[in-house]
Structure 1
Amino acid sequence: MARAATTADVFNAIAEPRRRQLIGLLAEGEEAPVGDLVARMGLPQPTVSKHLGVLRKVGLVSVSQRGAQRLYRLNPGELKAVHDWVKSFERFWAHQIDRIKERAERRAAEIRENN
């Protein structure tokens, strides 16, 4: 079975860890010059630009030109589909957190009773 193109949709685009890292960096501020992203990623400029290109094609980032600089900005609304999909699984980890909390409270009560 052939793999979907990385530019097919947001899910395929964010499957790559470096692209998720870029999204995280862009989420920290308003916009960032590609040079800053290259420095922070510690990757060659062509590699970062390629990843940014994929993110652009699916609408996760936009780019503007200011002089010689290309400034990238995150379009966070494009992640809503991912959020909505992941949210449907929240009950699985919410249940686990409740169980951990109950165990911790039970253990604390046992310690208080034994002291």
Structure 2
Amino acid sequence: MPREPIAPTEIFKALADPIRWSIIQQVAQEEEFPCSVLEDTLPVSKPTISYHTKILTQAGLIEVHKRGRNYFYSLRRDILRQVIEQLWPLAPGSPPAAGTAGDPVRRAAADREEPAAAAEADSGAPLITW
């Protein structure tokens, strides 16, 4: 059964909390992230972790998988891409090509063939184009 689309505002609300942002950053590092690691890395209790992961799941940002007695989280990168696609028209410049690796802002600057920006994009230095 397909999920109903989730409004970007709901996704932003879910990402706005520092604990949830930390969870997303950690889960993004691996294909399947064990719940037990969150218990070791976050300064909150197990029930609080459960509360935050429930909000992230309801926002469609993570999925929960159970294997044996262990729970694993995976990031819904497709949802993040949808939000970026909805945001991109609000930002100056052209959107990055589909499948472009790296930071979209730096890649877009490099794709426009701005020599200084392309050099910074390749160097890994932050580039702000606003």
TM-score range, shorter chain: 0.5 to 0.7
Instruction: Report if aligned partners of 1:60, 1:76 keep a CA contact under 8 Å in 2.
Output: yes
Could you tell me which residue of structure 1 aligns to residue 63 of structure 2? 62
Q: Secondary structure at the match of 1:37?
A: helix
8 A contact 1:35–1:45 mirrored in 2: no
Shift of 1:15: 1.6
Contact in 2 for aligned 1:37/1:48 (Cα 8 Å): yes
Cα distance in 2 for residues equivalent to 1:70 and 1:21: 18
Higher relative contact order (CA 8 A, sep 6+): 1
- Structure 1 residue identity aligned to 2:29: E
User: Which structure is larger by alpha-carbon Rg, 1 or 2?
Assistant: 1
Correspondences of 1:73-84 after superposition (within 5 Å): 73-84=74-85
The alignment partner of 2:65 has SS state of strand
User: Would you tell me which structure has more helix in proportion to its own residues?
Assistant: 1
Aligned with 1:54: secondary structure?
Answer: helix
Q: Partner of 2:52 in structure 1?
A: 51
Q: What is the letter of the counterpart of residue 25 of structure 1? A: Q
- Alpha-carbon offset, residue 9 of structure 1: 2.2
2:73 maps to amino acid: Y
Gaps of 5+ in 2: 1-8, 94-104, 107-115, 117-130
Give the TM-score of the pair, scaled to structure 2: 0.58
How many residues are matched?
A: 89
The equivalent of 1:15 in structure 2 is 16
TM-score by length of 1: 0.64
TM-aligned CA deviation for residue 61 of structure 1: 0.6
In the TM superposition, what are the counterparts of 1:81-96 in structure 2 within 5 Å?
81-91=82-92
Q: Distance in 2 between matches of 1:41 and 1:76?
A: 22
Please tell me the residue identity of whatever aligns with 1:68.
Answer: R
Deviations along 1:39-70, one digit per CA (max 9) or x if unpaired, are 11232111111110001112111111111111
Letter paired with 1:65: K
Identity rate of aligned residues, in percent?
28
Q: Following the alignment from structure 1 to structure 2, what is the Cα–Cα distance between the partners of residues 69 and 10?
A: 26
